[in-house]
């Protein structure tokens, strides 16, 4: 979830950056901490973490505030939070790895892999959607999290303490909906499309998605702090704080006294689906956009983006990656993430070879656009990171 409301986006390192000395790195860590503290004072959020991956891969981290306000538990750089739609980047990279291995192609019709499902004949645009359409949100499918029918059903499950919907059940919410446009003829962000991609990964490999992504990406890249958000009891998870009167009927504090989520995050699956730290997100950005995430070349395919709107020609979307072609800091690649109680951002600044990530354990004032916290913090951290390597 997220990106539909706020196109928080983060390929190659295109310029030669000045090496960062040890003392400068220490100063960067102090400045990063100071920046987070100042933003917490200004915006009054519970807590946050941030990380900057420098061109040589070293990661500088900082934290501020509280991971659990009621328990007075401090936020630390090692505190995980739900990363939400940033997980789409892992889905896309996994599919590109499968394409490298000849197991599927972006040109494949999704019907080739899921056409035997009992519901497939009623999938909008089902006979014309390709994997490439799904990767770049060109399928014309509605976005189930924003459908009133899904929101009501999800709220009822949360109230009853029930487990999440299975992937096929999530797809079912769009089966009765008209397509937004013919496949390939437009752009509309849809979590549902990425649920279909998860089902395709499992159909092609014969294994659970989380097993495939761990073997393909997480373990080889040493992303040890990144784990599936497929249960309520995620170890060390920061408590998330959401807005009153949210569509899912969640309390402001989205975890119980023991720190267990009061809802089942497995509902996200390949729409997002991970708990992680800002440090691991920055490492992921460094590896992905440095061309190191897979054994065979993939960046050209990943960054082959399409426009998201006629009036925003500088914003494109590739394979699980948002692309800003013109910013004050040059081209930017990455993704944002929102899920009730949490906001995350990962941005890679190609001209400087740095990746910047942050996570905040509230969405209050963010999803309802009553403050400018996310773009303001992104801008501040971009200035901080780019100044170190100019």
Task: For residue 238, give every residue at least 6 positions away whose Cβ sits within 8 Å of its Cβ, in sequence order, or none.
Answer: 47, 67, 68, 75, 79, 80, 81, 342, 359, 361
- Confidence (pLDDT) at 1: 44
Determine contact, residues 374/345, Cβ cutoff 8 Å: yes
CATH 3.40.710.10 fits 22-389, yes or no: yes
Determine contact, residues 47/361, Cβ cutoff 8 Å: yes
User: What pTM did the predictor assign?
Assistant: 0.94
Sign of the Cα torsion 209, 213, 216, 222 reads: negative
- Confidence (pLDDT) at 366: 84
Q: Which 8-state DSSP code applies to residue 147? A: S
Quote the Cα angle for 59-260-262, to 5°. 120
Q: In a structure prediction context, what are the per-residue pLDDT tens digits for the chain, which is 390 residues long?
A: 434 334 433 322 223 344 555 568 788 999 999 999 999 999 999 999 999 999 999 999 999 999 999 999 999 999 999 999 999 999 999 999 999 999 999 999 999 999 999 999 999 999 999 999 999 999 999 999 999 999 999 999 999 999 999 999 999 999 989 999 999 999 999 999 999 999 999 999 999 999 999 999 999 999 999 999 999 999 999 999 999 889 899 999 999 999 999 999 999 999 999 999 999 999 999 999 999 999 999 999 999 999 999 998 899 999 999 999 989 999 999 999 999 999 999 999 999 999 999 999 999 988 777 889 999 999 999 999 988 877
- Confidence (pLDDT) at 367: 75
Determine contact, residues 294/93, Cβ cutoff 8 Å: yes
Residues 346, 64: Cα–Cα separation, whole Å: 18
Transcribe 70-83 into DSSP letters.
TTTEEP-TT--EE-
Determine contact, residues 63/79, Cβ cutoff 8 Å: yes
Instruction: Tell me the domain boundaries of the chain.
Output: 22-389
């Amino acid at each position: 979830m997220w990106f539909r409301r706020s196109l928080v986006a983060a390929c190659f390192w295109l310029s030669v950056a000045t090496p960062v000395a040890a003392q400068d790195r220490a100063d960067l860590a102090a400045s990063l901490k100071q920046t987070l503290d100042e933003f917490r004072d200004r915006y009054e959020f519970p807590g946050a973490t941030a990380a900057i991956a420098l061109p040589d891969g070293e990661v500088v981290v900082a934290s501020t505030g509280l991971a659990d306000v009621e328990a007075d538990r401090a936020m630390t750089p090692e505190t995980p939070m739900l990363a939400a739609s940033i997980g789409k980047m892992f889905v896309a990279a996994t599919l590109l790895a499968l394409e490298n291995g000849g197991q599927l192609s972006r040109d494949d019709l999704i019907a080739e892999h899921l056409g035997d499902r009992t519901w497939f004949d009623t999938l909008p645009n089902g006979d014309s959607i390709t994997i490439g359409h799904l990767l770049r949100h060109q399928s014309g499918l509605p976005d189930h999290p924003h459908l009133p029918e899904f929101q009501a059903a999800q709220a009822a499950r949360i109230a009853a303490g029930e487990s999440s919907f299975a992937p096929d059940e999530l797809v079912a919410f769009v089966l009765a909906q008209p397509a937004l446009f013919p496949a390939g003829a437009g752009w509309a962000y849809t979590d549902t499309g990425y649920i279909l991609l998860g089902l395709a990964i499992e159909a092609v490999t014969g294994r659970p998605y989380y097993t495939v992504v761990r073997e393909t990406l997480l373990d080889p890249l040493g992303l040890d702090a990144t784990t599936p958000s497929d249960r309520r009891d995620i170890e060390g998870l920061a408590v998330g704080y959401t807005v009153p009167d949210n569509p899912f009927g969640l309390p402001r504090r989205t975890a119980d006294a023991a720190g267990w989520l009061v809802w089942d995050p497995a509902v996200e699956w390949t729409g997002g689906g991970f708990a992680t730290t800002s440090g691991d997100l920055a490492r992921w950005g460094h590896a992905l956009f440095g061309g190191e995430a897979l054994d065979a070349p993939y960046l050209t395919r990943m960054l082959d983006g399409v426009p998201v709107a006629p009036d925003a020609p500088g914003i494109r979307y590739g394979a699980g990656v948002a692309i800003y072609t013109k910013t004050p800091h040059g081209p930017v690649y990455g993704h944002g993430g929102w899920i009730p109680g949490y906001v995350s951002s990962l941005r890679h600044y190609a001209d400087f070879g740095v990746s910047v990530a942050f996570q905040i354990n509230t969405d209050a004032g963010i999803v309802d656009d009553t403050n400018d916290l996310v773009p303001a913090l992104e801008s501040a951290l971009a200035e901080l990171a780019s100044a170190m390597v100019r």
